[in-house]
Amino acid sequence: MKINKYEDELEWKQARLGKITGSRLADVVVLRGTNEKKGFYQLIAERLASPRPEGENAMLRGHTLESEAVCVLENELGITFNKELVIWEREDNSSIAISPDAYSEDLTEAVEVKCLNSADHIKAVITNEYPDEYRFQVYQYFIVNDDLKKLYFVMYDPSLSVKSFYKFVINREDIYEEIGKYATYEVDMLDRVNEIVNQLSF
């Protein structure tokens, strides 16, 4: 066994990156019949990404990198998106809304950018699936905008040495049934909300 000694805590933390330590074993052990845990992707990310500053605000980081990610997409596609800060609302129900990160002038294409931690980014790249927790956000774009044909779901992490930019293209026809199902669900739920608000207001 080799023993490495460290006098500086920051150096000690850096040396732990990309290693399975005692405190991380539970994060990487996969039981039969389950998928890889986040710790597996974290190990890969730590070997590919430059360290982020301590106490970094993830939301602030996302806002800072968002426009950069859209520019990368624009260069790749050879088109320009509108990047104004807007909220889209359904014409027939203003309570059903979405805030696109960017969109085409004809409103047929939109962009959603996620600047997540490196482990989640790497997982999406390896599995070729965008994180499931954003599935309903994807649906909402198409529910709000009947003219939307295509959504670019962009993942961006410039701290990674490879695959720092990764995109998923979601077409309306690919999730047509889900759009209809959850559009109806939203309308029904909002009707119930309005009914209860009216009852409580009198």
Strands, sheet with 165-171, edge to edge from the N-terminal-most edge strand: 102-103, 109-114, 150-156, 165-171
**Which residues of the chain, if any, have pLDDT below 50?**
1-3, 20-23, 25, 28
pTM, two decimals, is 0.77
Question: Which pLDDT belongs to residue 11?
Answer: 72
Task: Identify the structural domains of the chain with CATH numbers, from first to last.
Answer: 59-201 (3.90.320.10)
* pLDDT at site 191: 85
The phi, psi pair for 151, rounded to 5°, reads -120, 130
Q: What's the chain's length in residues?
A: 202
